[in-house]
Amino acid sequence: MTIETVSAERPAENGFNRKISEFIKRVEYRRLEKPEELEEAYSLRYKSYRRENLIAESPEQRFEDHLDTVDNTHIFGLYLDQKIISSIRLHVLDKNNRQSPSLLVFEDKLRPMLNDGKVIVDPSRFCTDYEASRKYRALPYATLRLAGMAVLYFNADHCLTMVRNEHAAFYKKIYNSVQIGETRPYKSVNFQVALYCADAKIIRANVARRYPFFKANLDEIASLFVRKNDSATA
């Protein structure tokens, strides 16, 4: 079983897809649970966010918050030649798990969906190594692939994106995300965010056809999302 497609949309340009697929074969996806690996992610976040002056300076040079340690969080890193080059954090929301960045800012928009029994993937803290991001155009796509895996593994109904409006085009293009929440402040960063939401049915139907590098088999997905005492099933 894979993230497949039934869409009639045409695939993206073949050379583009091929380059990203080749890049994905070079990187290692890691679920970050060891303290030293988490510190690498927190340090990368800090450098990435400070580069654009999105957070205040910190003598510890790390960017972490309480949502990094809640039960429904999953933190990942992409490694190239044993060096972390990007990271993303995912929270999986449902009726019984209600902690995530988007829920802090847009609780009024998301509470009715959770009360209705929806399962929602909430990606956040997407960050990249500066030199790697300049060298590898594929890096954002390879990193975002983890959100698609989570949608499949947790049988989610929606995938969120809480971003600055100028970054929304990327998620509209890839996941057909639509805006469901107006721009609001988010106290942990120096910018305002809007909330976008993608329908998981559209992700499953369209994404892998247009972007075949998003395909993932269940062995790969389970290797990243299954943890001890994890009751989720694919």
Per-residue pLDDT of the chain (234 residues; tens, 9 = 90+): 334 433 334 454 588 889 999 999 999 999 999 999 999 999 999 999 999 999 999 999 999 999 999 999 999 999 999 999 999 999 999 999 999 999 999 999 999 999 999 999 999 999 999 999 999 999 999 999 999 999 999 999 999 999 998 888 888 888 889 999 999 999 889 899 999 999 998 888 777 788 888 888 889 999 999 875 554 444
Query: Which residues, 6 or more positions from 187, have their beta carbon under 8 angstroms from its beta carbon?
Result: none
Tell me the residue type at 80. Answer: L
Q: Quick one: pLDDT at residue 13?
A: 56
Domain ranges of the chain: 14-225
Residue 159's closest CA among 110, 196, 125?
Answer: 196
Q: In 10 A of CB 58, how many CB atoms?
A: 11
CATH number belonging to domain 14-225: 3.40.630.30
- Provide the whole-model pTM: 0.89
Distance (Å, whole) CA 109 – CA 181? 7
Q: Quick one: pLDDT at residue 195?
A: 97
Q: Quick one: pLDDT at residue 27?
A: 97
Q: Quick one: pLDDT at residue 2?
A: 39
Q: Quick one: pLDDT at residue 9?
A: 43
Distance (Å, whole) CA 113 – CA 122? 13
Distance (Å, whole) CA 3 – CA 228? 24
Query: Which residues, 6 or more positions from 95, have their beta carbon under 8 angstroms from its beta carbon?
Result: 114, 115, 117
Distance (Å, whole) CA 8 – CA 103? 34
Distances from the Cα of 137 to the Cα of 6, 91, 131, 182, angstroms: 27, 26, 11, 30
